[in-house]
A and B are shown apart, each in its own frame.
Chain A
Amino acid sequence: MATHKRKTQADEFLAEYNIKQDAQDAQADQDAQDAQDKTDADKEVADFVGKPTPETQAHKDAVKEGIVPDDKAAEQEQAKVVQIQDRARKQAANNATFAQRRAQNIKTATDPIIRKGAQVVDYVGAAKTVGGVGLLLVILFLLLFIVVRVNAAGNTRLQQLWSMLNGRATLTGAVTPTGIESNGGGASGDFSAAPNNPFNGTSSTNTFPSATLAQDASTFAGSYRTYTGGI
């Protein structure tokens, strides 16, 4: 698996620090160039007035009057700047180290969890699926439609579907309930009595005598009931 190194906070900090450091270096170079130019100009002035050496009184006077640059003060100033820069650099390095350490600690803490999670997913994904999902769906279908009985009469879903096909059963939602408000598609009402005779479409009441039903039990095989279960 290809690894991609994430840019941490410490990396960003270091990048920013490097940019700042480059800018500072460029500024320092520019300052040094300016100082050199100034020195050259001062030398020209000194040459004009008589080339005083650092040891002579004339040089000291020239320094005092600002004609010649004070090298000692400049050196001290430069040393101060270097010291400040060093301190800032050390501080930045410390900060960067701290950020790196913090990022490393977070990485050390979270990596095993992520790795473990990936291992679990790989382990589960590698499990065998003999026969595939299709076979299990077929078995489930057979069990749910042939084995499981879903109503008080002990009918299976397949029997109920068959009853639906030959007109011996109807969906309760298809029968207009009398004296009952909209039932929202659920089963309601009195299902104790047999439904209307399907062979007598004009009657709105139960015209099928229960005695006949009992007599014809062998013909109807006891499945002359309203569909009350869910598929």
Chain B
Amino acid sequence: MNTQETNVYMFVVSWVLMIGLLTLFNRTRFGHVLIYYSLLLMILLILVSEYAQLTPLLSGIETPAALNAQLYTNMPK
């Protein structure tokens, strides 16, 4: 078995082991809560760090307001 195959083997075993342990931990009440809030934290951190990617989602909300403001400005006084 060369080094590359060993790395692949270790990669797969590590993932399987980690998922198995997390599943077992998730079966306890305490572990379930801990995993739940860890995932929640991950999501929040991704949302914060990828804020720039998510701004287009907000543009749809901002545009009508800007248009309304423009319309209001253009309205004959």
Contact = CB atoms under 8 A, between A and B. Distances in A.
Contact of B35 (A133, A184, A185): A133
A147 B4 contact: no
Contacts of B50: 143, 147-148
Contacts of A144: 46
15 contacts: A121-B30, A125-B29, A125-B30, A127-B37, A133-B26, A133-B35, A133-B36, A133-B39, A136-B40, A144-B46, A147-B46, A149-B53, A185-B4, A185-B7, A185-B8
B32 A143 contact: no
A85 B26 CA distance: 62
A148 B26 CA distance: 27
B35 to A, nearest CB: 6
Contact of A143 (B7, B36, B47): B47
Interface in A64-97: none
A186 B26 CA distance: 32
A125 B30 CA distance: 4
A136 B32 contact: no
Interface residues of A, number: 19
A202 interface: no
A140 B47 CA distance: 10
Contacts of B7: 184-185
B4 A140 contact: no
Contacts of B43: 136, 139-140, 143
Given A147-B54, A185-B7, A124 B46 contact: no
Nearest to B42: A140
Q: Label chain A's interface by main secondary structure.
A: helix
Contacts of A124: 30, 33-34
A137 interface: yes
A132 interface: yes
B13 to A, nearest CB: 15
Nearest to B40: A136
Contacts of A148: 46, 50, 53
A125 B28 CA distance: 9
B8 A129 contact: no
Contacts of B39: 133, 136-137, 140
Given A124-B33, A140-B42, A147-B46, A184 B53 contact: no
B17 to A, nearest CB: 19
A121 B28 CA distance: 11
